[in-house]
């Protein structure tokens, strides 16, 4: 059962702390840490009240998690999940230290924290656990004992299990850590920085004429996230929806400009989504449905599509589906009787009326299909 185990220190609407999350791509360029540190320093100096501080959530540097995974698997092709998680979490741990050093060099009083210092409580597989609860007193307690203007830096996507061991909250879950921090502090919003201009009607790298959406509803964003939009993690959006935390999706280029806001708004925007990182599995329909139910119950990011989606179109996510698209590429379903189809990608079209249309296409053809579908939905009235 997910819960907030203790309320935020100052209640909803607290504005003396800002919560910022920086994804792995934000650290890819040379000098990125110093650039981010300068940005944070400028934000805090322009904040007005003397007591304003910040919580900075960092992902591992882009590519580092994959490198660590490959290093472990080079020694053990199927490593124990707790050892894999222990190795992968070092990516965020190192980046917390590097980001702290950059912030201190920028003149900010900065304290690095670990998963035991955040109050995030998880359960499940060590490398893909579920966030179960937030003990708000832990994070607010850290801020209460520190001077005004202090910056806390925490590792994204990490929590503590019941036994006190750190666990991962799945890949790309630093968003979830940032939302949880905002919930714990009673902050009205959380800012997510990435290399994307915001929430777009399609991946601009695949569809050049994709446009940025000024506002997106929580439910629409969750649908987009589950079907391949990697700007936000769907679990983070769900927590934000339940606790009414706005998500501001931003880019440092241009600096400081808010591009998209995810919140309690009704939207009817269309979008085309390519599940570029999703693995496609198939098998007998009863087996596929059984695995879908089991994986969904475990909190996995999984999509069920019908046979018509293969080389054609399917307007339903239910029905008599024989394909699964699983976001967690680490999870191998062959031992469950399913067959992997690495040559396929899922393209999902979200129409203005909320209808979903799935197509399973050859990976090389996915960009062309996405562009064609984007042209299609732009011509459909809301």
pLDDT in tens, 233-264: 888 999 999 999 999 998 886 655 668 999 99
Q: Start-end ranges of CATH 3.40.1160.10 in the chain?
A: 3-195
164: left (phi over 0), alpha (psi -120 to 50) or beta: left
Cβ atoms of 166 and 160 within 8 Å: the answer is yes
* Whether pLDDT at 341 is above 70: yes
Which range has the worst mean pLDDT, 20-29, 61-70, 101-110, 246-255?
246-255
- Looking at per-residue confidence, does 259 or 75 come out higher? 75
- Looking at per-residue confidence, does 319 or 44 come out higher? 44
* Whether pLDDT at 315 is above 60: no
- The whole-chain average pLDDT of the chain stands at 87
* Whether pLDDT at 50 is above 60: no
Name the pLDDT band for 159 (thresholds 50, 70, 90). very high
Q: How far is CA 162 from the centre of its chain?
A: 23
Position 340 scores a pLDDT of: 94
Q: Which of 204, 361, 318 is nearest to 271 (CA)?
A: 204
Hunting for tokens 């994709």 — which residue is that? Answer: 210
C-alpha angle with apex 185: 122 to 159, nearest 5 degrees? Answer: 15
| DSSP label of 202 | S
Residue 305, helix vs strand vs coil:
strand
Position 2 scores a pLDDT of: 46
The listed range with the strongest mean pLDDT (50-64, 222-236, 296-310) is 50-64
pTM: 0.87
- Looking at per-residue confidence, does 46 or 166 come out higher? 166
Position 330 scores a pLDDT of: 66
Token pair in block for residue 52: 């304003």
* Whether pLDDT at 313 is above 60: no
CA distance 323 to 332: 15
Position 12 scores a pLDDT of: 40
Position 357 scores a pLDDT of: 93
In this predicted model, what pLDDT tens digit does every residue of 195-223 receive, in sequence order?
788 899 999 889 999 999 999 999 999 98
Cβ atoms of 283 and 334 within 8 Å: the answer is no
Position 1 scores a pLDDT of: 36
Instruction: Give me Rg for the CA atoms of the chain.
Output: 21
* Whether pLDDT at 319 is above 60: no
Position 300 scores a pLDDT of: 77
Sheet of 120-123: strand order equals 3-6, 130-135, 120-123, 158-160, 166-168
In this predicted model, what pLDDT tens digit does every residue of 106-136 receive, in sequence order?
999 999 999 999 999 999 889 888 899 999 9
Hunting for tokens 């098998």 — which residue is that? Answer: 283
* Whether pLDDT at 312 is above 60: no
> H helices within the chain, ranges in order?
32-45, 64-75, 81-88, 90-105, 136-144, 174-185, 218-226, 234-243, 285-297, 366-378
Hunting for tokens 């998209």 — which residue is that? Answer: 260
> H helices within 227-361, ranges in order?
234-243, 285-297
Position 187 scores a pLDDT of: 94
Cβ atoms of 184 and 117 within 8 Å: the answer is no
Handedness of CA 94, 95, 100, 101 (dihedral sign): positive
CATH of 3-195, one of 3.90.105.10, 3.20.20.100, 3.40.50.720, 3.40.1160.10: 3.40.1160.10
Hunting for tokens 């894999």 — which residue is that? Answer: 84
Q: What is the mean pLDDT of residues 368-377?
A: 93
* Whether pLDDT at 343 is above 50: yes
């Amino acid at each position: 059962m997910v819960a907030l185990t203790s309320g935020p220190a100052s209640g909803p609407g607290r504005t003396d702390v800002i919560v910022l999350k920086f994804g792995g791509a934000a650290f890819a360029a040379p000098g990125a840490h110093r650039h981010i540190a300068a940005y944070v320093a400028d934000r805090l100096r322009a904040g007005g009240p003397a007591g304003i501080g910040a919580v900075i959530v960092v992902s591992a540097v882009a590519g580092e998690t994959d490198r660590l995974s490959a290093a472990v698997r080079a020694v053990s092709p199927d490593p124990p999940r707790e050892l894999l998680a222990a190795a992968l979490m070092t990516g965020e741990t190192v980046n917390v230290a590097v980001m702290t050093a950059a912030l201190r060099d920028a003149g900010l009083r900065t304290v690095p924290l670990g998963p035991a210092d955040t109050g995030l409580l998880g359960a499940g597989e060590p490398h893909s656990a579920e966030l179960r609860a937030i003990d708000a007193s832990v994070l607010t307690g850290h801020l209460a004992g520190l001077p005004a203007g202090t910056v806390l830096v925490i590792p994204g996507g990490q929590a503590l299990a019941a036994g006190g061991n750190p666990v991962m909250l799945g890949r790309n879950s630093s968003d979830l850590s940032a939302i949880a921090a905002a919930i714990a502090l009673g902050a009205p919003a959380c800012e997510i920085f990435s290399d994307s201009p915001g929430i777009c009607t399609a991946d601009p790298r695949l569809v050049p004429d994709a446009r940025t959406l000024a506002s997106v509803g929580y439910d629409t964003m969750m649908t987009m996230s589950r079907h391949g939009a990697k700007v936000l993690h769907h679990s983070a959006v769900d927590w934000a929806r339940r606790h009414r935390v706005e998500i501001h999706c931003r880019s440092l280029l241009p600096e400081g400009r808010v591009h998209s806001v995810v919140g309690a708004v009704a939207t009817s925007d269309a979008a085309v989504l390519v599940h570029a990182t999703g693995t496609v599995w198939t098998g007998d329909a009863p087996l596929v449905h059984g695995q879908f139910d089991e994986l969904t119950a475990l909190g996995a990011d999984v999509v069920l599509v019908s046979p018509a989606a293969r080389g054609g179109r399917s307007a339903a996510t239910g029905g008599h589906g024989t394909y699964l698209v699983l976001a967690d590429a680490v999870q191998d379903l062959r031992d469950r009787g399913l067959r992997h189809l690495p040559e396929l990608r899922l393209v999902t079209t979200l129409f203005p009326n909320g209808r979903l249309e799935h197509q399973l296409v050859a990976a090389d053809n996915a960009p062309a299909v996405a562009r064609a579908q984007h042209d299609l939905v732009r011509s459909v009235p809301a």
